[in-house]
Amino acid sequence: MADAHSVVPASVLRNLSDKLYEKRKNAALEVEGIVKQLAALGDHEKISAVISLLTTEYTYSPQANHRKGGLIGLAAATVGLTSEASQHLEQIVPPVLNSFSDQDSRVRYYACEALYNIAKVVRGDFIMFFNQIFDALCKLSADSAANVQSAAHLLDRLVKDIVTESDQFSIEEFIPLLRERMNVLNPYVRQFLVGWITVLDSVPDIDMLGFLPDFLDGLFNMLSDSSHEIRQQADSALSEFLQEIKNSPSVDYGRMAEILVQRAASPDEFTRLTAMTWINEFVKLGGDQLVPYYADILGAILPCMSDKEEKIRGFARETNEELRSVKGEPEEAFNVGAILSIARRQLDSEWEATRIEALHWISTLLDRHRSEVLCFLNDIFDTLLKALADSSDEVVLLVLDIHACIAQDPQHFSQLVVFLVQNFRIDHSLLERRGALIIRRLCDLLDAERVYRELSSILEGEADLEFACIMVQALNLILLTSSELSEIRKLLKQSLANAAGKDLFVALYASWSHSPMAIISLCLLAQMYPHASAVIQSLVEEDINVKFLVQLDKLIRLLETPIFAYLRLQLLEPGRYVWLLKALYGLLMLLPQQSAAFKILQTRLKTVPSYSFNGDQLKHALSGNPYFHHGAPQISEDGNKNLNNGNVQNDINFTSWLEQFEQIQRQHRLLAKSQAQSRNNSLLKDGPKAEEPLQLPTSNTNRAVSRSSKRGPG
């Protein structure tokens, strides 16, 4: 240290710490001259001593003016060294960098000025400190003092020039530092970072594209910045990189795809749009590289199908079609299970377009990879069933298409129908809102007879009698009215002359017995009029309730539709269809006289001609036994004379059927009594209340419902 004092005059050292800038500047010029002389003599030991003096006694001094003088002195020493400055940089640069964090803004300003002058002298040799300088500049770019920011910008531009012309710059060492800074929120720092990314990308010898995954997320993060300028700069940088990707033969699509997928779900609209733009290009360019990421990409696309911004929806639709056109195979890392999982999750989306597209994907996978999809059936089946309650008809129809595709296998068919009935049982509103649509669609997609047989088999043993009745009534109404079930109706109409029709009638009979009106409707459809009359005669007082009358009202109105045109035409031959007439009169007797249904049926029966009655036939009908036939030839239930071959009614045990119906109805009556008893007990417990009268669906609710107590012998 003594050597340094002997080299630098005391007056110079004194002026170097003066409060006046001009004196410090003049002292620095003196230092520059002294160092220049020492360099000319090759006395680097004394030069080191001078630098050490400036560092320890000035730049690290507690006095601000000393620190300012030390910084200007170090810069002057560097200028004095000129080409030989590089061998003293490790002494000169660290104290300057340390001053960047000084509490005094003027000291920070002088540090920028000093480093600027040092960099101008050493140029490329400066690169060895690049990471430390970059880190310091990053902080200074957000400095609270405007003059420090301005000085830092000047230094930043010089450092960029040096880096772009240097062959010593290591991008590999720089990237970790850049990645670490990319998530900073300060707008000045963000501008600083984007500026550096743009500059380095412009250097031909620096492969920034290869390191893009390291800072891509940070750039996307800047797209939602509150500053329009920063958003624009980030967007410009991203556009440039995307163009480079299009022209590059080798790109790491996979790592970037993971980032884009996350950014596609950003709450910021501009970020989502940019992410979808990139994903769209990636799907077109990525090829096999992206196959393992298809599930994640699909997870990003599907929500964007319902985005409020039309451009985003457009990119999502286009990308989705590109993705669907790829014929990926499981052995090529095409993960069917992962894609199914994504589609299943999106079925819970609040947006209809997203749910619809998710279903299209499940359908596509079923078509291309059926065996793999069926392996994951347990994972998606419950969700698909819940989707049957969707508010969108289009969604429900697509779900049913998928169910029908799955149900092509017998075991899956049975599973589908069982689950369907379970859902209807749990949620009666689903049956009311969607029951007809679901059943009709399944009948259209699958064999209608097969569907009805399976449903009937399940309902036959249904423990919840009330639900069984509701379900049967719904199925019966669909059977009588839907165009999808026209072939079943034709088959049932031939029940007395066709073995297949009779077999179907028998298959439905047990479950249809849960509802008196359903079984009567079935008998009328199958032209088993004597049995219909016997069922009507078997009804007891408890059966004639409001629900029964409502169902009866529906049936009477259905009898006036084209479906039952054949039945109305048969009334032109009352002598031949006596049991039909008796069944209809039986229904009429059950209706309140002032009801609309009573008037409709009464009006219809008044049109029946009386001229075709045969005395023997009338006597036969009035005998009360619908299953007893005299002589030959016999008159069948549909009015056709029996043939020895081709008529199956001799195989029908009508008595057994009627007993089965009565047994099931007794179970319903016991259930009704039990429920009534429970209600009464509850009322007694809560206190007496006025009893409400039974409200019938008629215009005169006080009129008693008359009926015959006579029951058919079955």
The predicted-structure confidence for 255-275, as pLDDT tens digits, reads as follows 899 999 999 999 999 999 999
**Cα–Cα nearest to 531, from 706, 713, 666:** 713
Please give the Cα distance from 34 to 7 (Å, whole number). Answer: 8
**625 pLDDT higher than 60:** no
Cβ neighbour number for residue 492 with a 10 Å cutoff:
24
Domains of the chain: 1-166 (1.25.10.10), 452-609+654-673 (no CATH)
Of 32-36, 430-434, 614-618, give the lowest mean pLDDT range: 614-618
What does the pLDDT look like over 657-697, one tens digit per residue?
A: 899 999 999 998 888 888 888 877 776 766 555 444 444 44
Look at residue 590 in the predicted model and tell me its pLDDT. Answer: 93
Alpha helices in 248-293 (DSSP H): 253-263, 269-286
pLDDT in the model for residue 711 = 36
The label of the residue with tokens 């990926």 reads: 328
Averaged pLDDT for residues 159-171: 90
Quick one: pLDDT at residue 612?
58
Q: What percent of the chain has pLDDT over 70?
A: 88
CA dist., res. 431 & res. 439, Å (int): 10
Q: Encode 261-300: b = buried (16+ Cβ within 10 Å), e = exposed.
A: bebbebebebbbbbbbbbbbbbbeebeeebbbbbbbbbbb
Average pLDDT of span 138-145: 92
Q: Share the mean pLDDT of the chain.
A: 86
Local confidence band at 399 (pLDDT 50, 70, 90 cut-offs): very high
Identity at 173, one-letter amino acid code: E
Does the pLDDT value for residue 646 go beyond 90?
no
pTM check: above 0.85: no
Whole-angstrom distance, CA of residue 77 vs CA of residue 58: 14
Start-end of H helices in 88-166: 89-99, 105-122, 130-140, 146-165
What gap in Å lies between CA 452 and CA 505, rounded to an integer? 11
